[in-house]
């Protein structure tokens, strides 16, 4: 087949924090690297991160160390985390953050001229390095600046739709240019998935259009395993009003800087749910608390909780939370230095994802690596704020290293691309243009979002999950025949057709895992099983993979055994 | 519910024109919501760039009623809805399709700017008051609105000679970084074409991040270059006294 072709040692899919860091590393290790992303460079989701990056630098609270960070992360994840990932993450995050500074990042400073750190939920000490409330922007610009001078070839506004294999091994990636709609082939020895999350399967979300679970679906279809997909983080504080901004994030830094949550009766309700940690309890707890207050009739006028920061004074708020100040001023006409915000949980992050080896980020498919939000394991059942940005750096770097090493070992690249795969890919992609009676992809997308919100939301129960799964089957059928107007040139409706397929795979994985896990743990709350079940479910990861006949296979696998010295750290009331 | 008439430019490099759509207006709705409504209900292939829908990524720039703005930040109730609302692609860059333009030139120029070059053996101690100047410029979300309104690029199309305000603040940010040691003076005068800017301040007016592009970046850069030009010795002394950037 005639097709535009590019050849590299390593293809990184995704140019957020994880992808950029991986590309920089792989390139530094001598690999020829192509970096592919759906949006323009510098616009990935990472740009939106606000509160900070967690690393035990001990600049503010000098008692902090990697062990405490490890301890906090494991407890935040309700011990379902991959211990080795949590360990590497805690140990390496400080170096990765300092490295950003060496590449030009300008974090806020302490009085003695070091990187400033702030408090966040579930972190024992002040641990989040930050720049006001635009930390993600600082991070992505720094990596972008470093990346463009690292000899990487960037292919932007290019979407990967299929991974290609030669036997068991990865040999390429197939996709299209958004601008022209023309197809493109990347021949490669190794692929790093760094495609981020899945939030667009839900209506109320802090996530952008890119979060359609492409990476999870690509990995799944290539035969890799997904773990712990039931753990979807509902961030406690999304905007509620006006409707057009519903779901947009209100950073946890508001609470980190002293924000207080109250209900319509003026009660500081966190006293009831977590009197010790109050507003800075972990996200799963705060989200459930707000949800419960509203469901029991104590919500704010637009069905949320009040979050107040005005008592910190106008100057402080504008200095420390400038984007929140503008966000409310411009979108909600509310001055947060004077009035409280209204907030309600919003779909934010997925803890589950592609199963990887902690040290190399290798998946179960040779040549396929994964890092960042698309990978699972690091955060267990619940992620602590700030632990994602550090995860991107630590495992982005390791993915670049792992992929480059793997690629460098393949001396003469004899890996083949099967023409048939290209034909099948092309045919699948072009089908919506040929359909006569197919449905509108936007309609199906809306129906999917309704379904996930209604049946697979903050609180879950067997009957609803079953109903949700039935709905998903119906949607899958409907989505098998989609119809789209216009040409292949920059056609968002056409792009959505393939994105929908990924979302449906990921949504089914989430719902199935949620139905299987008969307990409540972290972000997964079962009304019919409200307690932890450590004996059974505390010992296993949920596992999804594709079986021989193309059906989704669901199961569990035992948690990796934690070494004794780490167990002591976890069990000690570490401070 | 009130209805707005949206006149959206539809077309590509071969030409095009306005298409009118009726869009119901909800409380708090922004122009990008209206565009999304059109995609979902009328024309699924209407092309637009966006990511964050929270004024953080700088993807969604367009000209709304002739004014260059972020569509995700422009509330419908801030526009006179008794008249049709026009939405056009930004004008300074070649159109790809509908509201999407080819901004690749910006990426090319960006790559030519000499990168951060830290002092050797630094202990990485920096004080808040010293980083604040560069921090202001690092708020830039690369929305290209300033590039779009600058008459040197928009009307005179001097893209071969002038890098534009976004790139000038990028250079200013590096030059004012407390630990940077590189010298971008020659680059500023020749490659970046600093001299073309005649301080009309149009760029500053449209910046959604409220960066003082002219006052805090361009004018100080011009002063620096002028100093060097007229008094190179003075500048050399400053550069090697170790506190040139403080
Ligand atoms: C509003 C908000 C605030 C947040 N604040 C914080 C915070 O303060 N601290 C913290 O630690 N975490 C925070 N998070 C979470 C964190 O930002 C994300 O988890 C993280 O940025 C994900 O990074 P990533 O590198 O995995 O993916 P992303 O940055 O999302 O990048 C994904 C990349 O993959 C590309 N891509 C996807 N699919 C394809 C495809 N099919 N083909 C080609 N390219 C593709 C995209 O174009 C993009 O370049 C926040 C999240 C949100 C939404
Ligand atoms: S001040 Fe200079 S850079 Fe800004 S718009 Fe005017 S001429 Fe262009
Ligand atoms: S300086 Fe302002 S207007 Fe220019 S690109 Fe940056 S954010 Fe946009
Ligand atoms: S969509 Fe990100 S700035 Fe408008």
Contact A489 B75 (CB under 8 A): no
CA distances from A134 to A114, A144, A396 (A): 18, 16, 20
pLDDT of residue A382: 95
Pair of tokens at residue B223: 């002063």
- Do B147 and B174 share a domain, yes or no? yes
Highest mean pLDDT (candidates A117-126, A354-363, B229-238):
A354-363
d(CA B178, CA B123): 12
- Do B192 and B77 share a domain, yes or no? no
pLDDT of residue B226: 84
Structural domain boundaries, residue B142: 104-241
Q: pLDDT-based confidence at A414, cuts 50/70/90? A: confident
pLDDT tens-digit series, residues A209-229: 899 999 999 999 999 999 999
User: Would the pLDDT of B243 be above 70?
Assistant: no
- Do B91 and B108 share a domain, yes or no? no
pLDDT of residue B235: 54
d(CA A24, CA B101): 28
d(CA B27, CA A242): 6
User: CB neighbours of A189 closer than 8 A, spacing ≥ 6?
Assistant: A9, A10, A170, A171, A367, A406, A407, A410, A413, A415
pLDDT of residue B234: 59
- Do B94 and B132 share a domain, yes or no? no
pLDDT of residue B244: 43
User: CB neighbours of B72 closer than 8 A, spacing ≥ 6?
Assistant: B30, B31, B32, B50, B52, B53, B54, B55, B60
Question: Which carries the bigger pLDDT value, residue B241 or residue A364?
Answer: A364
Asked if residue B246 is part of any domain, the answer here is no
Domain final position from B52, B81, B101? B101
pLDDT tens-digit series, residues A3-25: 999 999 999 999 999 999 999 99
Probe site for chain A from B4, B15, B52 (most A CB atoms < 10 A): B52
Minimum-distance ligand to the CA of B206? 3
User: Would the pLDDT of B241 be above 60?
Assistant: no
pLDDT of residue A91: 98
pLDDT tens-digit series, residues A418-458: 999 999 999 999 999 999 999 999 999 999 999 999 999 99
- Do B129 and B179 share a domain, yes or no? yes
The answer to whether the CB of B194 is under 6 A from ligand 3 is: no
CATH code, domain with B144:
1.10.1060.10
The pTM assigned to this predicted structure is: 0.95
Probe site for chain B from A59, A99, A137, A182 (most B CB atoms < 10 A): A137
d(CA B142, CA B145): 8
- Do B52 and B97 share a domain, yes or no? yes
Pair of tokens at residue A383: 């992620």
**Chain B contact for A329 (CB, 8 A cutoff):** no
Which run of H or of E encompasses B68?
strand B67-70
Q: pLDDT-based confidence at A574, cuts 50/70/90? A: low
pLDDT tens-digit series, residues B54-106: 899 999 999 999 999 999 999 999 999 999 999 999 999 999 999 999 999 99
Query: Residue B133's closest CA among B172, B159, B182, B162?
Result: B172
Contact A486 B124 (CB under 8 A): no
CATH code, domain with B12:
3.10.20.30
DSSP A311: G
Q: pLDDT-based confidence at B242, cuts 50/70/90? A: very low
User: CB neighbours of A547 closer than 8 A, spacing ≥ 6?
Assistant: A553
Among residues of chain A, what percentage have pLDDT more than 90? 94
Mean confidence (pLDDT) of chain A: 96
Minimum-distance ligand to the CA of B196? 2
Q: pLDDT-based confidence at B246, cuts 50/70/90? A: very low
A460 touches A520 (CB < 8 A) = no
Nearest CA in chain B to A141: B138
Q: Quick check: helix, strand or coil at residue A554?
A: strand
B149 touches B68 (CB < 8 A) = yes
Do the bridges between strand A128-129 and strand A53-54 make them parallel or antiparallel, or are there none, so unpaired? antiparallel
- Do B152 and B86 share a domain, yes or no? no
- Do B230 and B141 share a domain, yes or no? yes
pLDDT tens-digit series, residues B94-127: 999 999 999 999 999 999 999 999 989 899 999 9
- Do B122 and B168 share a domain, yes or no? yes
User: Is the reported ipTM for this assembly greater than 0.85?
Assistant: yes
Q: pLDDT-based confidence at B230, cuts 50/70/90? A: low
- Do B174 and B69 share a domain, yes or no? no
Query: Residue A70's closest CA among A52, A51, A91?
Result: A91
d(CA A551, CA A376): 21
Contact A330 B73 (CB under 8 A): yes
The residue-averaged pLDDT of A137-150 equals 98
A230 touches A542 (CB < 8 A) = yes
- Do B113 and B234 share a domain, yes or no? yes
The answer to whether the CB of A228 is under 6 A from ligand 1 is: no
Contact A102 B126 (CB under 8 A): no
CA distances from A470 to A475, A509, B205, B206 (A): 9, 13, 53, 50
d(CA A136, CA A52): 7
Q: pLDDT-based confidence at A417, cuts 50/70/90? A: very high
The answer to whether the CB of B57 is under 6 A from ligand 4 is: yes
């Amino acid at each position: 087949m005639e097709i535009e072709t590019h050849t590299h040692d390593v293809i990184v899919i995704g140019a957020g924090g994880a992808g950029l860091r991986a590309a920089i590393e792989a390139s530094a290790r001598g690999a020829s690297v192509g970096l592919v992303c759906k949006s323009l460079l510098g616009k990935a989701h990472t740009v939106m991160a606000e509160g900070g990056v967690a690393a035990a630098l001990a600049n503010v609270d000098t008692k902090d160390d990697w062990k405490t960070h490890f301890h906090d992360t494991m407890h935040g994840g309700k011990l379902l985390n991959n211990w080795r990932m949590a360990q590497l993450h805690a140990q390496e995050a400080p170096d990765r953050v300092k490295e950003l500074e060496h590449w030009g990042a300008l974090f806020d400073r302490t009085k003695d001229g070091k990187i400033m750190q702030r408090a966040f939920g579930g972190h024992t000490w002040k641990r989040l390095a930050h720049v006001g409330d635009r930390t993600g922007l600082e991070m992505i610009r720094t990596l972008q600046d470093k990346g463009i001078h690292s000899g990487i070839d960037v292919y932007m506004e290019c979407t990967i739709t299929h991974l290609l294999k030669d036997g068991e091994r990865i040999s390429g990636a197939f996709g299209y240019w958004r601008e022209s709609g023309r197809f493109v082939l990347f021949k490669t020895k190794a692929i790093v998935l760094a495609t981020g999350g899945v939030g667009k399967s839900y209506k109320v979300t802090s996530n952008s259009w890119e979060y359609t679970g492409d990476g999870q679906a690509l990995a799944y279809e290539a035969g890799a395993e997904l773990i712990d997909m039931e753990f979807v983080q509902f961030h406690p504080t999304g905007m509620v009003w006006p409707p057009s901004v519903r779901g947009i994030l209100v950073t946890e830094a508001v609470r980190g800087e002293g924000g207080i949550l109250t209900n319509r009766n003026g009660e500081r309700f966190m006293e009831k749910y977590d009197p010790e940690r109050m507003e800075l309890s972990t996200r799963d707890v705060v989200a459930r608390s707000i949800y419960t207050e509203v469901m029991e009739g104590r919500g704010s006028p637009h069905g949320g909780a009040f979050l107040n920061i005005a008592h910190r004074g106008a100057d402080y708020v504008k200095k420390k939370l400038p984007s929140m100040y503008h966000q409310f001023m411009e979108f909600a006409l509310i001055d947060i230095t004077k009035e409280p915000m209204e907030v309600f949980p919003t779909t934010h992050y997925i803890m589950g994802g592609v199963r990887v080896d902690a040290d190399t980020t290798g998946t179960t498919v040779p040549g396929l690596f994964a890092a960042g939000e698309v990978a699972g394991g690091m955060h267990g059942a619940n992620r602590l704020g700030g632990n994602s940005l550090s995860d991107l750096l630590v495992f982005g770097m390791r993915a670049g290293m792992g992929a480059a090493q793997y690629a460098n070992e393949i001396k003469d690249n004899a890996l083949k691309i099967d023409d048939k795969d290209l034909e099948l890919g092309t045919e699948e992609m072009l089908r919506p243009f040929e359909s006569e009676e197919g449905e509108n992809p936007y309609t199906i997308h809306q129906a999917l979002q309704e379904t996930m919100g209604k049946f697979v939301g903050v609180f879950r129960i067997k009957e609803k999950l079953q109903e949700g799964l039935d709905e998903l089957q119906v949607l899958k059928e409907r989505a098998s025949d989609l119809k789209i107007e216009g040409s292949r040139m920059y056609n968002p409706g056409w792009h959505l057709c393939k994105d929908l397929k990924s979302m449906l795979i990921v949504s089914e994985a989430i719902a199935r895992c949620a139905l299987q896990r008969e307990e409540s743990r972290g972000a997964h709350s079962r009304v019919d099983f409200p307690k932890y079940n450590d004996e059974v479910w505390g010992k296993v990861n949920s596992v999804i993979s594709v079986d021989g006949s193309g059906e989704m296979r669901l199961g569990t696998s035992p948690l990796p055994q934690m070494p004794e010295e780490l167990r002591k750290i976890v069990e000690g009331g570490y401070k | 519910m009130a209805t707005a008439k949206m006149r959206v430019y539809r077309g590509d490099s071969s030409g095009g024109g306005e298409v009118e759509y009726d869009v119901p207006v909800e409380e708090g709705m922004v122009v990008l919501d209206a565009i999304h409504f059109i995609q979902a209900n009328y024309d699924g292939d209407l092309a637009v760039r966006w990511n964050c829908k929270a004024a953080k990524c700088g993807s969604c720039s367009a000209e709304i009623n002739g004014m260059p703005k972020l569509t995700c930040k422009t509330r419908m109730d801030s526009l006179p809805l008794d008249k049709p609302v026009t939405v056009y692609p930004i004008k300074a860059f070649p159109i790809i399709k509908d509201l999407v333009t080819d901004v690749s030139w910006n990426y090319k120029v960006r790559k030519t700017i000499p990168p951060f070059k830290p002092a050797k053996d630094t202990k990485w101690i920096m004080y808040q008051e010293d980083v604040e100047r560069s921090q202001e410029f690092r708020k830039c979300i690369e929305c290209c609105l300033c590039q779009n309104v600058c008459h040197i690029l928009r009307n005179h199309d001097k893209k071969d000679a002038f890098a534009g305000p976004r790139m000038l603040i990028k250079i200013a940010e590096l030059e004012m970084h407390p630990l940077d040691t590189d010298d971008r003076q020659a680059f500023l005068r020749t490659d970046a074409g600093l001299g073309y800017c005649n301080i009309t301040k149009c760029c500053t007016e449209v910046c959604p991040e409220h960066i003082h592009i002219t006052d805090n970046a361009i004018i100080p850069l011009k002063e620096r270059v002028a100093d060097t030009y007229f008094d190179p010795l003075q500048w050399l002394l400053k550069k090697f006294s170790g506190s040139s950037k403080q």
